[in-house]
Amino acid sequence: MKTKSRVAILISLVTLMKSMQRNQVMRTPQLRVGLALFAVLCFASVSARASTRTFVSGGGSDKNSCSRGAPCRTFAHAITQTDSGGEIIVMDSAEYGTVSIDRNLTIDAAPGVYAGVTVTSQAIGIDVSSPSVSRVELRRLRIVSQGADSTGISYNGAGFLYIENCIVDGFFGFIASKGVGIAIHDAGYVFVKNTAVRNGSTGVLAAQGGAGASITLDQVRIEGNNFVGLHIYDRHKATIRHSALSGNVSAGFLVEEQTNTSELNIQECSITGTGTGGKVTGNGGNTSGIVRISGSTVTHNDIGLLIQGGTVLSAGNNTIRDNQSVFDVVPHDIVGILVKYKQR
């Protein structure tokens, strides 16, 4: 942004100077000094409009320039002062408000700083939906719902989204499709690490109708949601590893298909304290939900695994036991409906 503006200023100055030379007015020293001063002021004006690094503070003001010495108060204003590819830095603990991200951006809070985003009913905390966005990083934010049917983080892009060391809390709704911690609507690559998504309706949703995203969840806790912890729809492909799905009322995970295959890889995870540990659906043909599970524990659920036309591939090294109804998977394809075994 700044580079293009500066180039335009230079072109304008060169054109003006050539014109003046033709008119023989550049012989005046005062005019030459005036033009030099004009160029300096133009460059200063361009630099003041945006920066690669801006700052927000609980004691800041949105009338400020968002510099370190004059921080802004909200994310929504700071982004207007930040170049594409730039960074918003949280200086101290406060609530910083919701924001729609329309450019490549990093929002970063230091360890120990409370960087709060409070979301009202039917609103979105952090919305990434501009087609011009190819990379967003969110670090150490606490996104909290204060009303029903809201969404913590909504991603509708085709680039890269990184969510690290965040807490997404309380996004509940009165129906299953409302109240989502992290919602992924289209394509792109989403990485969630060292993050808790809890006390909502759906923890993480890869929504129906998208082109299919590649999703990686590493060291994530998805807890206490009253519908599903992790819900994967058509076309999306996800991997969850070294994570816990616990206390989700309806199901720990749900992988389902309507018209296209969806996939979930589960590696070294704990799935416990849910209505159904995991549910996989499909028509039993070429389009179905596919789950690959290895090194994981599915225990103390009402139902261990519920397979309804989907496919489960087990590495044979999982612990699936002490559920009220148990369906033990074996290391080959399984396509079928629920089979109940006695508790053992």
Q: Which of 103-107, 147-151, 203-207, 330-334 has the lowest mean pLDDT?
A: 330-334
Q: Could you read off the pLDDT of 66-101 as tens digits, one per residue?
A: 999 999 999 999 999 999 999 999 999 999 999 999
Residue 336 predicted with pLDDT over 50: no
Residue 8 predicted with pLDDT over 80: no
- The model's confidence at residue 177, banded by pLDDT at 50, 70 and 90, is confident
pLDDT at 196: 98
Distance CA 153, CA 250 (A): 22
pLDDT at 287: 60
What value does the mean pLDDT take over residues 206-228?
92
Domain map of the chain by residue range?
1-49
pLDDT at 322: 85
- As a whole number, the mean pLDDT across the chain is 83
- pLDDT exceeding 90 applies to what percent of the chain? 60
pLDDT at 300: 92
Which residue in 63, 84, 87 sits closest to 73, CA to CA? 63
pLDDT at 207: 87
Distance CA 44, CA 5 (A): 11
Residue 231 predicted with pLDDT over 50: yes
Q: Could you read off the pLDDT of 236-290 as tens digits, one per residue?
A: 999 999 999 999 999 999 998 777 889 999 999 999 999 999 998 876 555 678 8
Q: Could you read off the pLDDT of 278-334 as tens digits, one per residue?
A: 998 876 555 678 899 999 999 999 888 888 878 888 888 888 888 887 554 433 334
Residue 199 predicted with pLDDT over 70: yes
